[in-house]
Structure 1
Amino acid sequence: MASFSPNFIDEVLSRTDIVEIIAKHIELKRSGSNWMGLCPFHHEKSASFSVSAEKQFFHCFGCGKGGDAIQFLIEHTGYAFPEAVTYLAEKTGMEMPRESDYDRQQDKQEKSERDKAYLLLNQASQAFQQQLNTPQGQHVRQYIQQRGLPEHIVHRYQLGFAPAGYGFMAQHFGNDEQHLNALENIGMLFKAEYGYRDRFRDRLIFPIRDRKGDMVGFGGRIMQGDAAKYLNSPETPYFHKSELLYGYSEHREHIRKRKSLLIVEGYMDVLALAAFDLPIALAALGTAIGESQIRQVFRLCESPIFCFDGDRAGYQAAWRALERMLPLLKPEHRPRFLYLPDGEDPDSLLQKEGKEAFEHRLEHEAAPSLDTWILG
Structure 2
Amino acid sequence: MTQVEIMSPADVGRVAKRVLDQVGTVVVGKRASLELVFAGILAGGHVLLEDLPGLGKTLTARMFAQALGLDFRRLQFTPDLLPADVTGSFLYDQRSHDFTFRAGPIFTNLLLADEINRTPPKTQAALLEAMQEKQVSVEGVTYRLEAPFHVLATANPIEYEGTYPLPEAQLDRFLLRVSFGYPTAEEEWDVLRRRMARQREEVVLDPVVDARTLLAMQGALEQIEVEDSIGRYIVSLASNTRHHPSVLVGASPRGSLALLLLARARAALDGRDFVIPEDVKGVAIPALAHRLTLRPEMWLKRVDPAAVVAEVLESTPAPASGAIPGYASIAPGQRPSPAPR
TM-score, normalised by the number of residues in structure 1: 0.29
TM-score, normalised by the number of residues in structure 2: 0.31
Bigger relative CO (Cα 8 Å, ≥ 6 apart): 2
Q: Could you say which structure has the larger radius of gyration?
A: 1
